[in-house]
Structure 1
Amino acid sequence: MTRSYFPGILAMAAVVVASNILVQFLFGQWLTWGAFTYPVAFLVTDVMNRVYGKGPARRVVLAGFVVGVICSLIGTQIMGEFGPLVTLRIAIGSGLAFLTAQLLDISVFSALRGGKWWRAPLASTLVGSSVDTALFFSVAFSGTLSWIEPANDVSWAGEMLPLLGSGPVAPLWVSLALADWMVKLALALLALIPFRLIVKRLTAVPTL
């Protein structure tokens, strides 16, 4: 572990902790505040990959995964109105989605590293974000995976409602996933600006 990319580890840890806290607070009908902080994890991973390479990027992701596991363990001990803030399904879904999506992000980024500067971060984040959303919401709330935690009643997530309030009828968790995915896509585009600025700053050759 070198000091050069230690700030990346701190940044990833901060994103994971903040997202685990903010996911408890609703933003509108379909989102939580955590939906706006979590995608920053892809920005951190992509900056680390571009500046230091995929090895250090993987170490930053693994550090974020460990922090996420700790947050989940703490969440299982905090009781909310309807039980623990973090259930087994949410813990598994969160950890599996984070690790899979971030490592996939690194692989896609590395494959496109030699192209235009925006192609690798944009494509890797879009792919990683899509996989992240699909994995988390399916594992955490899909009725077909209720065997993961039979005692956890998530029937509320299966309530059939118009998609995002006006589309075709679908389970509630699908609307939650779609809203989350749309935020991730929008932030993937916006993140290109700080990505470019941060990378240029970190790779600038110091002058004497």
Structure 2
Amino acid sequence: MRRFVIPVLAMMVVITVSNLAVQYPFTPFGLGDVLTWGAFTYPFAFLVNDLTNRSFGPRAARSAIYAGFATGVISSAILGAPRIAIASGTAFLLGQLLDVLVFGRLRRLAWWRAPLAGSVVGSALDTTIFFSLAFAAVFSVLGPNMDFALQSIGFWGLPVMAPRWVSWAGGDFVVKMISALCLLVPYRAVLRRMPVYQPAGG
């Protein structure tokens, strides 16, 4: 089990930092209405997940996810709002498990297809679940209402009235997609130095 210590610790660090960072708008360049700092840290969870999956297989990846999930929720509940911890834990668990599933279906294709597809699909689910549970008024039963007053946000060049968390979710997802592409570089570099898991029949 010692070989899984690094993936588990990496997951713990990423989700704990992200749970704190997502509570703060990214104010540089006037992007506070569309981004939080968490958008820049959370994509590394997919990098850790995909490297673990590629090197040790889906079972090891799921083990790292469960360990990171449990520790992350506890630490986030202590360091941040309980509602954020619930939203983050649920989104993290489902998004990462979906990533493992997609990755497994595509692992025999070109090296970049599995991590990219898994990150895109997992990020879409993660973003939807997290921002809805964490900020939407309809889920206020989970904790203090964090919904925001309606504001005009740009959508395909048209003004749309929506809570600020909706624009945060949109900006967050765009950054995750850019990150999914950029993180293929360290993924490939690290993969060259690690063993490659061969599934049965591979």
TM-score by length of structure 1 reads 0.83
The Cα shift of 1:194 comes to: 0.6
1:110 maps to 2:114: no
Quick one: higher RCO (CA 8 Å, sep 6+), 1 or 2? 2
Alignment of 1:12-161 (within 5 A): 12-28=11-27, 29=32, 30-75=34-79, 85-88=80-83, 90-149=84-143, 152-156=144-148, 158-161=149-152
Partner of 1:81: none
Give the SS at the match of 1:64.
Answer: helix
CA shift digits 1:74-128 (9 cap, x unpaired):
03xxxxxxxxx4143x222111100000000000000111111100000000000
Q: Which stretches of structure 1, 4 residues or more, deviate above 6 A after TM superposition?
A: none
Aligned residues: 189
Give, as a single letter, the amino acid of the residue that structure 2 aligns with 1:59: S
Preserved contact between residue 97 and residue 132 of structure 1 (Cα < 8 Å): yes
Partner of 2:199: none
Give distance in 1, aligned partners of 2:127 and 2:146. 18
Mean alpha-carbon deviation: is it higher for 102-111 or for 133-142? 133-142
Give, as a single letter, the amino acid of the residue that structure 2 aligns with 1:34: G
Uncovered stretches (5+) of structure 2, i.e. residues with no partner = 197-202
1:187 maps to 2:179: yes
Identity %: 47
Uncovered stretches (5+) of structure 1, i.e. residues with no partner = 76-84
- For the aligned residues, what is the CA RMSD? 1.9
2:194 counterpart (181, 195, 202): 202
Give, as a single letter, the amino acid of the residue that structure 2 aligns with 1:17: T
The Cα shift of 1:167 comes to: 4.2
